[in-house]
Amino acid sequence: MSLSIRNKILVAYLGMVLLVGLAIGGIWYYLITAYATALVLIVVLAISGIIFTLIMRNITNPLEKFVSFTDMIARGNYSQITGVKSKDEVGVLADSFNNMLMELKKTRDDLTKAKDYTDNIIGTIASAVIVLTEDGEIVKVNKSVHKMLGRTEEELLKKRIDEIFESDTIAEILYNEIMKNGYVKDVEVVLLAKYGVKVPVIFSASVIYGSDGTTVDEIVCSAQNITQLKRMQRVRDMHLQELETANKYLKESRAQLVQAEKLASLGQMLAGVAHEINTPVGIGITLSSTIVSDTENLKAAFDEGSLRKERLGEYIDDVSQGSSLILKSLMRTAELIKSFKMVSADQITQERRVFRLKEYIEEILLSLQPNMKRRQHNIKIICDEDIELDSYPGAIAQIITNLLMNSLTHAYGPGAKGTMAIELSVNKDDVTIRFSDDGRGMPNEYVRRIYDPFFTTKRGAGGTGLGLHIVHNIVTQTLGGSIECESELDKGTTFTIIFPVMKKEAAA
């Protein structure tokens, strides 16, 4: 086993001591004989040469290899190893250097692969990527930057980032924000492409710090071109404006149709009332004409002196009977006009007032009597006589009218006779109106849609699809209540309406 470095140095030291001792002894011996001196000198020189050779081979040469090896590593060359293979401390140090070299080479290869991978990602990413120095100078860009700004890499490198911003002020604000917080995210700015073309982008940036966590290595910025998005937003805004205009027009049209439907129901009521008035008015006109004619004949007989007592008695009887019939006809006409006037005025003005509930429902039915008389249906009112209500009688009239007309139109076939019931009740807080018929009923899919505007199963046969829609709006908006419908095929339909006794004005 070869000597360790410590042992070798000890041997060298002992050799030098021996050499010095021999030299001293040689001096003394020289005094004895010159031949002995020469022999001593030769021995000393030989021993010194051996020691020098040992020192050069075991210490100096390996150190020179280490120096050249470290210079090679400093130049980035990791392709060789030290070549020192001794088993002493120098050999152990050489093995450690060789292991460190392999780790450094592996780390460098991994970093090179990671850099190439990152560069490939940055190069192919759709967003524009710009790398800056701490001072804001552009040092790297990807292909998307060239495509977006129409500038070559040579035109962009070494420029400051604010030179490609439309606004120097915004660029400075963003740069200060980046340096203060370490990043900015999703800021909408405008960059300048070639020939001054403005490019709107979403801009983000992040600081990459050094190993000490404070030194800025670089600033990585990304910009996503939103020119197409802006164009789409303008088109969207234009379409939204068109839709808003169309929606406004539709709302106005629907409001007009709803109002027209209300007026149409009043028109139907008026037509019925006019038809109903026609009979008593016709009777009154006929009887009045007869009385006028008889009176003229009586006056002529009186003037001629031919008037007899019997003729006068007959005239008095005829006038009495005719006047009685005329009075009844006029009272009937007045009653119809009064009911129509009250109901129609309430529906048009929608004013709030106090009224007797049952009495008002009877007035509504009286105004609808001409329409009901042809159908010969039985209508029942279930309500206490003394219930007074502080609400909107016109709204209630519209509800009852539409529900009755809906049943007349949909619940019964031609020639069918049925019964409709209007049940009204009031408790401390709420008014409940329950309207029911014993007609043909509806399937569930119809029940779910009956309040939709323009939904009707009688299109082309007088149905507009607005009657129950109007009822729903009046109940929920004007009266601030709720409405529910229950119906089964061949078992009739029931509408239950509940609204507050004293509705707040704000909900009107």
Cα dihedral sign, 168-174-178-181: positive
Q: What is the enclosing helix (H) or strand (E) of 216?
A: strand 216-225
- Residue 507 pLDDT exceeds 50: no
Q: What is the mean pLDDT of residues 139-145?
A: 88
pLDDT at position 1 is 38
pLDDT at position 451 is 84
Residue with tokens 């149905």: 463
Label residue 33 by pLDDT band (50, 70, 90). Answer: low
What span, in angstroms and rounded, lies between the C-alpha atoms of 387 and 425?
A: 8
Label residue 49 by pLDDT band (50, 70, 90). Answer: low
Percent of the chain whose pLDDT exceeds 70: 66
Q: What is each CA distance from 245 to 234, 239, 259, in whole angstroms?
A: 16, 10, 21
Q: Which residue has the higher pLDDT, 89 or 8?
A: 89
Q: What is the mean pLDDT of residues 34-44?
A: 60
Q: What is the mean pLDDT of residues 104-130?
A: 74
The pair of structure tokens assigned to 159 is: 């420029």
The pair of structure tokens assigned to 49 is: 């040469």
Alpha helix stretches (DSSP H) within 305-378: 309-349, 357-373
What span, in angstroms and rounded, lies between the C-alpha atoms of 393 and 345?
A: 10
| pLDDT digit string, tens, across residues 361-373 | 888 887 777 666 6
Lowest model confidence (mean pLDDT) among 90-94, 188-192, 377-381: 90-94
- Residue 86 pLDDT exceeds 90: no
What span, in angstroms and rounded, lies between the C-alpha atoms of 254 and 272?
A: 26
Label residue 3 by pLDDT band (50, 70, 90). Answer: very low
For residue 196, give the amino acid letter. Answer: G
Q: Which residue has the higher pLDDT, 293 or 161?
A: 161
Q: What is the mean pLDDT of residues 346-353?
A: 62
Label residue 299 by pLDDT band (50, 70, 90). Answer: confident
Query: Among candidates 370, 359, 364, which has minimal Cα distance to 333?
Result: 370
Label residue 340 by pLDDT band (50, 70, 90). Answer: low
> Could you tell me if 96 and 89 are in contact, meaning their C-beta atoms sit under 8 angstroms apart?
no
The pair of structure tokens assigned to 295 is: 């009176």
- Residue 46 pLDDT exceeds 90: no
Q: What is each CA distance from 337 to 163, 210, 276, 342, 424, in whole angstroms?
A: 85, 96, 10, 8, 26
pLDDT at position 279 is 66
pLDDT at position 273 is 57
The pair of structure tokens assigned to 80 is: 């060789």
pLDDT at position 421 is 93
What span, in angstroms and rounded, lies between the C-alpha atoms of 273 and 275?
A: 5
Residue with tokens 């009112």: 381
| pLDDT digit string, tens, across residues 431-485 | 999 999 999 898 888 888 888 877 777 655 555 667 788 888 888 888 889 999 9
CB neighbourhood size of 455 (10 A): 16
Instruction: Characterize 62-81 residue by residue with b for buried, 16 or more Cβ atoms within 10 angstroms of its Cβ, and e for exposed.
Output: beebbeebeeeeeeeebeee
- Residue 134 pLDDT exceeds 80: yes
Phi-psi region of 354 (alpha: psi -120 to 50; beta: other; left: phi over 0): beta
pLDDT at position 506 is 40
Specify the long-range contacts of residues 220-223, CB closer than 8 Å, at least 24 apart.
Answer: 220/129, 220/130, 220/131, 220/132, 221/129, 221/130, 221/131, 221/132, 221/161, 222/127, 222/128, 222/129, 222/130, 223/127, 223/128, 223/130, 223/145, 223/148, 223/191
Percent of the chain whose pLDDT exceeds 90: 12
In sequence order, what are the beta bridge partners of 189? Answer: 201
| pLDDT digit string, tens, across residues 219-276 | 999 998 988 888 888 888 888 888 888 888 777 766 666 555 555 555 555 555 565 5
**Which span out of 34-43, 102-111, 327-336 was modeled with the highest average pLDDT?**
102-111
pLDDT at position 508 is 39
- Residue 420 pLDDT exceeds 70: yes
pLDDT at position 108 is 75
Phi and psi at residue 480, in whole multiples of 5°? 65, 35
What span, in angstroms and rounded, lies between the C-alpha atoms of 475 and 11?
A: 119
Query: Among candidates 372, 347, 343, which has minimal Cα distance to 360?
Result: 343
What span, in angstroms and rounded, lies between the C-alpha atoms of 453 and 263?
A: 17
Lowest model confidence (mean pLDDT) among 55-64, 125-134, 188-197: 55-64
Q: What is the mean pLDDT of residues 117-122?
A: 67
> Could you tell me if 420 and 378 are in contact, meaning their C-beta atoms sit under 8 angstroms apart?
yes
Question: What's the DSSP call for residue 160?
Answer: B
The pair of structure tokens assigned to 287 is: 């009887």
The pair of structure tokens assigned to 487 is: 């119906």
> Could you tell me if 217 and 139 are in contact, meaning their C-beta atoms sit under 8 angstroms apart?
no
CA atoms within 13 A on the CB side of 331: 6
pLDDT at position 271 is 58
Residue with tokens 């409709």: 420
Q: Please work out, in degrees rounded to the nearest 5, the angle formed at the alpha carbon of residue 59 by the alpha carbons of 47 and 50.
A: 10
Query: Strands 419-426, 378-382: parallel, antiparallel or unpaired by DSSP?
Result: parallel
The strands making up 128-132's β-sheet, listed across from edge to edge, are 138-141, 128-132, 216-225, 198-209, 183-192
Q: What is the mean pLDDT of residues 405-426?
A: 86
